[in-house]
Amino acid sequence: MIETNLCSLLGIKYPIIQGGMAWVAESTLAAGVSNAGGLGLIAAANAPVDYVREEIRKAKKLTDKPFGVNIMLLSDNAEEIAKLVCEEGVKVVTTGAGNPGKFVEMWKAHGIKIITVVASVALAKRMERSGVDAIIAEGCESGGHIGELTTMALVPQVVDAVSIPVIAAGGIGDGRGVAAVFALGAVGVQVGTRFLVANECTVHQNYKNRVIAAKDSDSVVTGRPTGHPVRVLRNKLTRQFQLLEKDKSTFLELFEELGRGALPRAAKEGDIEMGSVMAGQISGLIKKEQSCLEIIEEMFGEAEKIMRNPVWVK
Ligand code: TUI
């Protein structure tokens, strides 16, 4: 049984946190992951506050285990969501795409555990000073909004730079990935892409099928000129982005127009050609739909086997 100090920090059985995937991570997936022994998350993303409140209340009915809310700090309503999690008694908050420093005091006063996603050592250090409980070091193998460094390079540098627990994210799709990031000094993993195809995940079936069909080289990064690079699976939309990106005179508004509403178009409507199919580089590892419990037990079973009996020890 793999148990780390992340398990006691969050009150969970397996040291795994589900990715806070915008338009995807709803109460059913969050409760599925939490019931399976990990930490499930509801993604607030750009959703209206009332919607997020309802999802939190639904999750409370679906599980008696701890779950969290992911707050995307680029969102216009991040401040309102930051207050909502206090009102609703949410136990854990994860944040992404920015610096949550100004909310830390309020969340701590409400006994909320705070875990911040970072893509650099500098932000990890700043976050430790502001009092967060743990760091998720997310490499650019991840789907969605990404930083510059790979998980392999980022995680050990963050581990050396801070003394709070570090969770690894980006490029972890099976037990081999779990074992690998423990070797880098992580005390847990955050996994997004593999949970896209969970039975409990409500993303459109076309999206799941696209992830299952993906091969190693099918993910690309678009949007670099906007300052918000995003990893997605190749399709008609990414080809249009790539054409725009070649033309240096392209106005940023054109990018925005092409990207507007693209994630719900894929995740909710199932338009996987003109929608944004955010998924990580390990999509090529994913072969089938499974329950959250099967995914988690398989990952940690494999990891334990590798760590007990590494192939290189004779
Ligand atoms: O946030 C994510 N992944 C996301 S958010 C998202 S929604 C979106 N849609 C379109 C455009 C942009 C976002 C889809 N995927 N992951 C966590 C993460 N945070 N990765 C990288 C970062 C990050 C990057 C820069 C965190 C902080 C940061 O700098 C902040 C600072 O103040 O230095």
Residues whose CB falls within 8 Å of the CB of residue 8, separated by 6 or more in sequence, listed in order: none
Give CA separation, 28 vs 40, 61, 202, 256, in Å.
Answer: 9, 10, 7, 31
176 vs 202: CA distance, rounded Å: 27
Q: Ligand 1 pocket test: which of 145, 222, 230 has the largest number of ligand atoms within 8 Å of its C-beta?
A: 145
Q: Which amino acid is at 263?
A: L
Burial of 83 per CB tally in 10 Å (0-12, 13-18, 19+) = middle
Q: What is the structure's pLDDT at 225?
A: 85
What atom of ligand 1 comes closest to residue 147's alpha carbon?
A: 21
Output the CA 96–ligand 1 centroid distance in Å: 5
Give CA separation, 219 vs 5, 11, 142, 205, in Å.
Answer: 33, 34, 10, 19
Output the CA 86–ligand 1 centroid distance in Å: 22
DSSP structural state of residue 218 = G
Output the CA 98–ligand 1 centroid distance in Å: 6
Categorise residue 205: left if φ over 0, alpha if ψ from -120 to 50, beta otherwise.
alpha
- Please provide the CATH number assigned to the domain covering 5-201+285-305: 3.20.20.70
**Structural tokens at position 24:** 């995807």
Q: What is the structure's pLDDT at 128?
A: 97
Q: Enumerate residues lining ligand 1, CB below 6 A.
A: 22, 45, 72, 74, 96-99, 117-119, 123, 138, 144-147, 228, 230, 278
| Gyration radius of the chain over CA positions | 18
What atom of ligand 1 comes closest to residue 259's alpha carbon?
A: 10
Output the CA 119–ligand 1 centroid distance in Å: 8
Q: Is the pTM of this model over 0.85?
A: yes
Q: What is the DSSP string of 96-145?
A: ESS--GGGHHHHHHTT-EEEEEESSHHHHHHHHHHT-SEEEEE-TTSSEE
Q: What is the structure's pLDDT at 260?
A: 80
Give CA separation, 129 vs 104, 133, 163, in Å.
Answer: 11, 10, 10
Ligand 1, atom 26, residue with closest C-alpha: 97
The H or E element spanning position 221 is: strand 219-222
Output the CA 222–ligand 1 centroid distance in Å: 14
What atom of ligand 1 comes closest to residue 226's alpha carbon?
A: 11
Output the CA 3–ligand 1 centroid distance in Å: 29
Output the CA 305–ligand 1 centroid distance in Å: 34
192 vs 283: CA distance, rounded Å: 10
45 vs 52: CA distance, rounded Å: 9
Q: Which amino acid is at 174?
A: D
Task: Mark the ranges of the chain whose per-residue pLDDT is less than 50.
Answer: none
Output the CA 231–ligand 1 centroid distance in Å: 11
Output the CA 302–ligand 1 centroid distance in Å: 30
Output the CA 172–ligand 1 centroid distance in Å: 18
Ligand 1, atom 4, residue with closest C-alpha: 145
Residues whose CB falls within 8 Å of the CB of residue 191, separated by 6 or more in sequence, listed in order: 16, 17, 18, 19, 169, 172, 173, 299
116 vs 137: CA distance, rounded Å: 8
167 vs 10: CA distance, rounded Å: 13
Give CA separation, 183 vs 71, 171, 219, 313, in Å.
Answer: 29, 15, 26, 15
255 vs 287: CA distance, rounded Å: 32
What atom of ligand 1 comes closest to residue 263's alpha carbon?
A: 9
Q: Are the C-beta atoms of residues 256 and 226 closer than 8 Å to each other?
A: yes
Q: Rounded to 5 degrees, what angle do the CA atoms 96, 175, 98 make?
A: 5
What atom of ligand 1 comes closest to residue 99's alpha carbon?
A: 32
Q: Are the C-beta atoms of residues 285 and 192 closer than 8 Å to each other?
A: no
Domain ranges for the chain: 5-201+285-305, 205-282
The label of the residue with tokens 């581990």 reads 159
Ligand 1, atom 24, residue with closest C-alpha: 97
Ligand 1, atom 20, residue with closest C-alpha: 146
